[in-house]
Structure 1
Amino acid sequence: MLRRFVQLAALVLVSFPAQAQNRAGTFDYYVLALSWSPTWCALEGTARNAPQCDRPLGWVLHGLWPQYDRGYPEYCAGTGRDPSRAQTGAMADIMGASGAAWYQWKKHGRCSGLEAGAYFDLARRAYDGVARPEVLRRLPDPVRLPARVVEQAFLADNPALSPDAITITCKAGRIQEARICLSRDDLTPIRCGPDVVRDCAMTDALLDPVR
């Protein structure tokens, strides 16, 4: 009976590892998620009359996500104060809207273990530390291209990046996001975990221009 109990306990630990507890401050690295604003507007934002879609935005900060080697924490319990409207509003220039900043704080920011101001400062630092390829902002018309071309553009403009530190995602036949893996200590690019590296394999993904 005791042996059976031990076996069941081991199975539970495998199925529900400690990372599932979503403890704030307990994670391995960050994922910097950059969304191509024209794609989000085409698929969702324009229908919502989102103010973001009235601005000539290219890569916007989706979020800075604490990540485990496998999986990620979310909606962690926090003991610190939530951000003020001024703090979330101050992120609208790179996130498109203050509401996006608030949502990202609730889902991911609390899991960083940082105070809200420090988390947003770190997210801005991570965003500013990555060169967004200017060539993609200069497209005059929609183009169809292999997703790997977008990755190559990031690699060309960011010498510290390697192919295993960035992944390009697609959605509904369009280029959706660039996700870059960064160390939690100094935000240097590192190899992504196996569940983050999900490169889009499309050879004709649509990339709308910035308007």
Structure 2
Amino acid sequence: MAMRSYAGFLALGALVIGAAVYGLVPQTAPTGSTADTVAPAQKPVVTPSKPKQEVSQSGTKAAVPEGDGFDFYVLSLSWSPTFCQSNGSARNRDQCGPDKRFGLIVHGLWPQYERGYPESCLTSQPQQVPMGMGRRLMDIMPGMGLIGHEWRKHGTCSGLAMADYFSVLRRAFETVRIPDELRRTGSQKRMSPQSLEDAFIKDNPGLARSAVAVTCDNQRLDEVRICFSKALDFRACPEVDANACRRSELTIPPIP
């Protein structure tokens, strides 16, 4: 009886040891197992989206550097042949030289109040426009003297850095479609200021009569002034419109 008990005890001990050893042996999944596998967690791949460019009623992109300290802009477009006939050729060879063929050029982009306008404002920006920056504007604003003067008198009141001001100026100019009446001027013509305003309104959707004013130098076309919001949408400007040319007819000198 004692011998059997001892033998049983040994057998039980062997089973315990065997189970322990088996538990330490690494197990491998059976070949062809249908158990689910879990992939390592991965960060999602994000494709950068392009910034949305909202389009305003006037067709310009709304992402425009926004100025401060005024109510709206006036884009003043000067009829270059009139300027050059008025002794301008002696003052600005970049605009009136014998090889120049300018029509409407940018006189300036003027910050305005609803009544009146600021000028020659204090600013931390330089007073002098660098030659490199000015040269990039010469296709629409010919003359470093003109560029520098407009920056000091008007640009300094925009609340913008110099580079941003001239960027907005170009954007405003490129917003406006010049009508054929001022593109095909190989010979002198005559038309009423109202007819010229009508041509701008027709070719520029969203432009109202209260947002554009044609001015005259005696009997000749002098400037076309168009009013913009800070975001470069066309907007009404009663004070500017009130100073439009009141002649029944004006002369448009030809582009040389």
Equivalents in 1 of 2:156, 2:241: separation in Å? 20
Question: Are residues 1:155 and 2:155 paired?
Answer: no
Separation of aligned partners in 2, 1:85 and 1:47:
21
Q: Does structure 1 conserve the Cα–Cα contact (< 8 Å) formed by 2:210 and 2:241?
A: no
Label 1:91 to 1:198 Cα distance change in 2 as closer, same or farther (>3 A).
same
CA distance in 1, matches of 2:175, 2:217: 26
Task: Decide which structure has the larger Cα Rg and report it.
Answer: 2
Asked whether the 8 Å contact 1:32–1:126 carries over to 2, the reply is yes
1:65 counterpart (105, 110, 118): 110
Decide whether the 8 Å contact of 1:146 with 1:201 is kept in 2: no
User: Taking structure 2 as the reference length, what is the TM-score of the superposition?
Assistant: 0.69
The question of whether the paired residues in 1 share the 8 Å contact of 2:119 and 2:154 is answered with yes
Instruction: Describe the superposition over 1:155-184 as per-residue Cα deviations: whole angstroms up to 9, x where unpaired.
Output: 111011000000000012111101011001
Matched, 1:88 2:134: yes
Q: Is the 8 A contact 2:82 2:253 kept in 1?
A: yes
What residue in structure 2 maps to residue 37 of structure 1?
80
Unaligned runs of 5+ in 2: 1-66
Q: Contact 1:167–1:199 (CA<8 Å) still a contact in 2? A: yes
Q: Is the 8 A contact 2:74 2:109 kept in 1?
A: yes
Identity value in percent: 40
Count of residues paired in the alignment: 187
Name the aligned partner's letter for residue 86 of structure 2: L
- Listed as ranges, the gaps of 5+ residues in structure 1 are 1-23
Tell me how far 1:139 sits from its aligned partner. Answer: 2.2
Question: Separation in 2 of the partners of 1:49 and 1:35?
Answer: 14
Which residue, out of 171, 181, 187, partners 1:141?
187
- AA in 2 matched with 1:209: P
User: Which has the larger helix fraction?
Assistant: 1
CA distance in 2, matches of 1:118, 1:207: 33
Counterpart among 11, 17, 28 of residue 71 in structure 2: 28
- Which residue does 1:176 correspond to in 2? 222
Aligned-pair CA distance for 1:195: 4.6
Q: Which secondary structure state, in structure 1, belongs to the residue aligned with residue 139 of structure 2?
A: helix
Distance 2:90 2:187 in 1: 21
What is the CA–CA distance in structure 2 between the aligned matches of 1:159 and 1:49, rounded to whole Å?
A: 34
Summarize deviations over 1:46-95 as a string: whole Å, max 9, x none: 24362311311111001000000000000001112343121122211101
Cα distance in 1, alignment partners of residues 145 and 113 from structure 2 = 26
Distance 2:238 2:114 in 1: 5
Q: Structure 1 residue aligned with 2:147, among 94, 98, 101? A: 101
- Where 1:169 maps in the other structure, the secondary structure is strand
Q: Which residue of 1 aligns with 2:254?
A: 209
Give the match's secondary structure for 2:87: helix
